[in-house]
Amino acid sequence: LKAWVADNPNLVYWQGLDSLAAPFLFLNFNDESLAWSCLSAFIPKYLHNMFLKDNAAVIQEYLAKFSHLQAFHDPVLFNHLDDIGFIPDLYAIPWVLTMFSHVFPLHKIFHLWDRLLLGNSSFPLCVGLAVLKQLRAQLMEAQFNECILLFSDMPAVDIDNVVSTSMDIFTSTPPTLTWREHDCVREAPGPLDLCSLSVSVLKSEKVGRISGADLLSLANSSAKKVLCVDVRTQEEFKLGTLQDALNLPGEGAFSETGDLVGNKEELEMARRKGRVIAVVGSVKDRMDLTVAEGLLKLGFPRVATVHGGIEVFRGAGVLVVQHA
């Protein structure tokens, strides 16, 4: 650990670094240099900038993305935990800083990390959600204090189930839903890519964003994987929208009790078929977020907003006038 700190003068020792080192030391007890090399390669890939002296923005972005992933895949569980105020900040930080090595015994960590090492830096988010899904029945029956007690003494977890579930989550999640600014350096984003968002903005949105590029990729796949919901007014919709988009004007989309007023059949079909429900609006009013969070509250899974709104597609040559 001293060697790692000395080799990374811009980073500091945070509690949990010893738990990260333990699996590599156990497997390479007679070769400390190899153990150090493994740790030095592991941290930049999965914990980029997590060990900065001021790592608040890095961790909070990670937790916000974890919250968005929950809402995307399990809105019912998300709504329950959100209603009782049991947010990821209260239980997931040790998961993040130790990549679960502080939570599970070594023999389970070996199995988990064998799969983790084959995924990218977003895969641990999927592992965290897989753990929640395994504890789902208990969490759905629990109130705030009971949730605190449950995670203070983590019950036994079937690690094989966690691994397989996390793989399913990873392969069915649009890549940009879990993209993080603090993950690694990338080229300057194009108009259809995600751009950096402040932690306060991420925390204020219960539904995550996907990029325009992700939406087009889903729409152009051989299987219809997405329902695009355009929440602008009918007049704006008629001037140009995305191919096969559903018009659900944000104003009047829900009743006073929060129920959907129209277009229930299309949305229910998207739910049954496991399609992504990509809500597109305009950057002028962010009605997309209002509609997306309304759908989330109703328990619709796989809901996301499209970053930048309909405006990002105007230079891409993909907007069409429907029923012209």
Where does the pLDDT of residue 185 fall: very low under 50, low under 70, confident under 90, or very high at 90 and above? Answer: low
Contact 92, 118 (CB under 8 A): no
Q: Quick one: DSSP state of residue 260?
A: B
Q: What does pLDDT average to over the chain?
A: 93
Q: Which of 241, 232, 240 is nearest to 287 (CA)?
A: 232
Q: Quick one: DSSP state of residue 242?
A: -
Q: Is the pLDDT of residue 89 over 80?
A: yes
Mean pLDDT value across residues 197-222: 94
Mean pLDDT value across residues 185-190: 74
Buried b (16+ CB within 10 A) or exposed e, 92-120: bebbbbbbbbbbbeeebbeebbebbeebe
pLDDT confidence of residue 72? 98
What is the dihedral angle through the alpha carbons of 312, 313, 315, 320, rounded to the nearest 10 degrees?
-150
pLDDT in tens, 17-56: 889 999 999 999 889 889 989 999 999 999 999 999 899 9
DSSP calls for 64-122: HHHHHHHHHH-HHHHHHHHHTT--GGGTSHHHHHHTTTTTS-HHHHHHHHHHHTTS-TT
Q: Is the pLDDT of residue 324 over 70?
A: no
The one-letter amino acid at 134: Q
Beta bridge partners of 241: 320
55 Cβ neighbours under 8 A, 6+ residues apart: 14, 49
Q: Which of 54, 77, 51, 55 is nearest to 66 (CA)?
A: 77
Question: What radius of gyration, in Å, describes the C-alpha atoms of the chain?
Answer: 21
pLDDT confidence of residue 11? 83
Buried b (16+ CB within 10 A) or exposed e, 247-259: bbbbeebbeeeee
pLDDT confidence of residue 274? 95
- 10 Å CB burial of residue 178 (0-12, 13-18, 19+) is buried
For the chain, how many residues are written? 324
Q: What's the distance, Cα to Cα, between the start and end of the chain in Å?
A: 66
Mean pLDDT value across residues 61-66: 98
pLDDT in tens, 234-289: 999 999 999 999 999 999 999 999 999 978 899 999 999 999 999 999 999 989 99
Contact 191, 316 (CB under 8 A): yes
